Amino acid sequence: MNQEPLPAALAAYAGAGQQDAPYELLAEREDGTVVRCGEIVAKAHAGDSDREGLAVRMRIAADEALAGVLLAPLRPEVGYLGGRPVSLWPYGAPVDPERPEDAPWEAAGRLLAALHQVPVHRLPGPVPPMRGPAKLARALRRLARATAPGRGAGAAAAGPARAAGPVGVPGATGAAGVAGSAGSRPGPALVPSPAEGRPAGDLVRAAARTLPAWVRGEAPAPRGGALCHGDLHLGQLVRGPGPDGGWRLIDVDDLGIGTPAWDLARPAAWYAAGLLDTATWVRFLDSYRAAGGPAAGPAGSDPWPELDLAARALTVQTAALALAKSAENHRRLDDVERLMVDSCARIATLPPDLEPQAPS
């Protein structure tokens, strides 16, 4: 690629070679750069992407079996720009962060339920594994690098759990706002913690050691499962183009076969940490169950036997990334990040889960 900045080069790619095409930078992260050029969105995926896996994921997103669930790409083929894989998508309106009361939790539940019920054998293949465990492993490696001796970071100690306001989390409440209810009570992550004063990085690593090796990406995952998104959060929903304008899931980088509970893990982890209020959690969970989702048991039952392991994994991943970023940027944890580390302190008191659990 020439010396043109990547966002401008992406805009030209999306604009069919128009070098002066106006664009809006939507995201620029380690895992991808995303620009909007008119009604087209171009994404340059990470340079170390699994290119064969990404090609299959693009074909799956374009398959009619996923119509109404995943936002379909403008073309199913992966392009290349400066050696990086590039994909083109129609623009979809995202969730409005200024209106958390309008967050589409019910739609998220329905979309996940539909995704988890897609007949995998009918999809283009071979369908790759869902990348959730790989992302947890990457987060732990990043934490290790950021807090290695000599970097002057990683000495933060765990303090008592503190209430957090709705800092960037739609539907958030303080920790005291989480109350158990039938079928939606907090899981074991909320047991009291004796970890006062321990380095935060040690707590996160201790919490990780309670997880089976396959959850940490250190062993093959149990065989079977369902088609999973792999990185569900509200930023992965947009209103699709067309007459219905319904919500669609975006970002197929982590899509694949795996444990469907993983797709419910982030909301479950937020709920267990006190960042998601009970009413919002129940809206999401009930919507998923009503649409036939297989990962949380039948309506009225306790979902935590199925969700606990994945929720703990997402808690560890979130806390590891928070600590790594705080060390890299020489800043203190914010209150939301601190709550996730506090949850890891409680998870670290649990006995190791040595037996692999078959995907539900």
Q: What is the DSSP letter of 351?
A: P
Contact of 353 with 212, CB cutoff 8 Å: yes
The domain locations on the chain are 6-90, 100-347
Between CA 53 and CA 84 the distance in angstroms is 14
The 10 Å Cβ neighbour count of residue 202 is: 17
Length of the chain: 360
For residue 347, the Cα-to-chain-centroid distance in whole angstroms is 20
Contact of 269 with 261, CB cutoff 8 Å: no
Domain 6-90: what homologous superfamily?
A: Phosphorylase Kinase; domain 1 (3.30.200.20)
**What is the 3 state secondary structure string of 90-119?**
ECCEECCCCCHHHCCHHHHHHHHHHHHCCC
Strand 84-90, strand 32-37: pairing? unpaired
Q: Which residue has the tokens 């990780």?
A: 208
Q: Which amino acid is at 318?
A: T
CA angle, 266 then 164 then 187, to 5°: 40
pLDDT digits (tens, 9 = 90+) for 290-348: 999 999 999 999 999 999 999 999 999 999 999 999 999 999 999 999 999 999 999 99
Residue range 135-142: mean pLDDT, rounded: 96
Residues 6+ apart with CB under 8 A from 292: 113, 117
How confident is the model at residue 197, as a pLDDT?
59
Q: Which residue has the tokens 């580390």?
A: 341
pLDDT digits (tens, 9 = 90+) for 42-60: 999 998 899 999 999 999 9
CATH, range 100-347: 3.90.1200
Contact of 281 with 184, CB cutoff 8 Å: yes
pLDDT digits (tens, 9 = 90+) for 45-99: 998 899 999 999 999 999 999 999 999 999 999 999 988 999 999 999 999 988 8
How confident is the model at residue 308, as a pLDDT?
95
The closest of 75, 97, 95 to 239, measured between CA atoms, is: 95
